[in-house]
Amino acid sequence: MRGQVLIGVAALIFVITLLLLIALPKRTIGPTAAIENYTVAKREVEHILRNAAEEAAYATANTLEAVLKNTENLPDTLKKLYTQHFNVLFTDKVGAYAVLRGVFCKLDTLDVKVSSGNNYFYISSIYAVATCDNGVMAFINSAADVKVELKNLGAFGGVKAAVNLTRDQKQIQLITYAAALYDVTGGKPYRFPILGTFDPRESIWYFNITGLHYIQVAIPPEYCMMSDPTYYVAIAAASVGEGAATVVVAKPGGKLCGR
């Protein structure tokens, strides 16, 4: 009797296994597997682009001294500096990807735009396309809308930036950011950190369900009292894995505190 039970159990297991083999979708061969492999590879390359976009914003803000040494045509210089950092970071990442996957990718397109407001300018859009020798093509398309207000707060000055990051027109709710003040004296910029540091690992995290993030920076009296300011305020903001980022540079046109 016991032997018959064991035979019955074994037969049941065999039937269930057979049914699963028939019912479950095949992963190893055929067009379905090819589509899945392409999708995975595309996502991997997209993440390379996204990470490069975000890290390039912090790298740009971290090297603004090079930009502020010559204050002529700063928006164009900001664009060139960001493009340079993006290319370096992308090249480094696809090099590691080639070692890991045996796939070689290149950056086909990188279009960075800079917009300006009253006494400030910022990176407003990033569009990048990468292609690989396995047929994969990936891209990112992100934008930033920034409004900056300069405020007189009495004993202190204030810079308030309303930052809205989007990816494929989708609002970004979680960002990281940091800010610093750059004083340009005798053609030499000196940086003074204000909020966080220009490093994604040491920046400030900020979640807002609406996607609108208010970044407020206090300017100390020794600077906000200047009637002819020699300082700039820089803000770097980036999404977390979404590929959206911006660098904002503002220069007050007069005193921001006192009477």
Which range, of 93-102, 130-139, 189-198, averages the lowest pLDDT?
Answer: 189-198
Res 6 pLDDT > 60: no
At 91-110, the pLDDT tens digits run 999 999 999 899 999 999 99
Quote the CA–CA distance of 167 and 240 in Å, as a whole number.
Answer: 11
Give residue 154's pLDDT: 81
How many helices (H) and strands (E) the chain has is answered by: 5, 11
Res 123 pLDDT > 90: yes
Res 155 pLDDT > 70: yes
Q: Which residues lie closer than 8 Å to 74 by C-beta, 6 or more apart?
A: 67, 68, 121, 249
At 23-81, the pLDDT tens digits run 544 444 445 555 568 888 899 999 999 999 999 999 999 999 888 877 788 999 999 99
Q: Domain residues of the chain, as ranges?
A: 30-250
Give 134's DSSP letter: T
Res 1 pLDDT > 70: no
Res 142 pLDDT > 80: yes
Give the mean pLDDT of 206-218: 95
Give residue 4's pLDDT: 55
* Structural element, H or E, at residue 92: helix 74-101
Res 201 pLDDT > 90: no
Res 197 pLDDT > 50: yes
Mean of the per-residue pLDDT values of the chain: 87
Quote the CA–CA distance of 124 and 64 in Å, as a whole number.
Answer: 17
At 228-246, the pLDDT tens digits run 998 999 999 999 999 999 9
Give residue 35's pLDDT: 57
CA-to-CA dists, residue 71 to 14, 77, 179, 189, 210, angstroms: 77, 9, 19, 11, 35
Residue 161's nearest CA partner among 225, 98, 235, 222 is: 235
Q: Give the distance between the most distant pair of CA atoms in the chain.
A: 101
Give residue 188's pLDDT: 81
pTM: 0.84
CA angle 58, 61, 66 (to 5 degrees): 135
* Residue with more model confidence, 14 or 68: 68
